[in-house]
Structure 1
Amino acid sequence: MDVVIREIQAQDKPQWRILWNGYNQFYESKVSDSVTDKTWLRMLNVQSSINGRVAVVNDEVVGFAHIVLHEGTWELSTLCYLEDLFVAPEMRGHGIARQLIQSLIDEGKTQGWSRLYWHTRENNPARKLYDQFADVEDFVLYRMNL
């Protein structure tokens, strides 16, 4: 199976939207259409710190990675937060998520990023893959909606 990992493009929106809906369903979250639309526009805006990568098989978008590039107080160079990672259920088991993560690692090395990091739910089955890339830290996430 040939998988192409590339930056998200405007024509990807219909296929991305199906995956995005599946991603939010997996996490049992409800993201409003206005937030979804703004997220999409941010990923297409070269001035935004939010970027998207897609995995394409046979001209079909089958997975995505959303990243946020930002500065930090503990590093001199850019940090990359992998905020969202998703592969269509019928395409899982083919190494697509691995390729998406590896492409970010390769890009980060080329671009001089200091760190790639992400978090996930404790019971996420994808942790079997994540554990092959990095060690789990002992930090606890606190979140307060404002």
Structure 2
Amino acid sequence: MGMFNNMDVGGGVADFWSYIREPRPHRWAIWGVAVALTWVVFHGVSEYLIPYEKPKPQIIYFENWKATRGEAEIRADWVARAKETTRRNAEKRAEYQRFADSMGIEYDSSEADKVTRETLGAEEAAAAKKKPAPSQARSTLAERAARGAPPAPADQPRR
């Protein structure tokens, strides 16, 4: 520990400067390679190892209302937005319910369903809760086998 108490930085810098000033063969070529290699390493790290994505321009739309809009119009707009949010929540809750049923997990949404029925009405709440039609473009191998469809030829690539 005593060795680091009396550090002579000036002497070290002077020794380094005298070493650099000595005329050696190829000293400028070595300096050029050292500087170029340092630049390549730092540039490579900053360019390729630390990715930077330029922010993409965004278009943000907002609603513009008349200054003469009445309180009834404002309330009607609030109610419409609240009903839309409630409908989306009911659809999402139905998805969670189907997932919980498939996994065998107990999931009770009866209290939330009651609020949805009160907000939207019974018909619209039931429509939001019903299972959507599957949008499967291709049939599975098991479905084709069940229908008795011929298997794909061996020379045809699979998708």
Give the TM interval when normalised to the shorter protein: under 0.3
Taking CA–CA contacts closer than 8 Å with sequence separation of 6 or more, which of the two structures ends up with the larger relative contact order?
A: 1
TM-score by length of structure 1 reads 0.21
Which is helix-richer, 1 or 2? 2
Normalising by structure 2, report the TM-score: 0.19
* Greater gyration radius: 2
- Normalized per residue, the structure richer in strand is 1
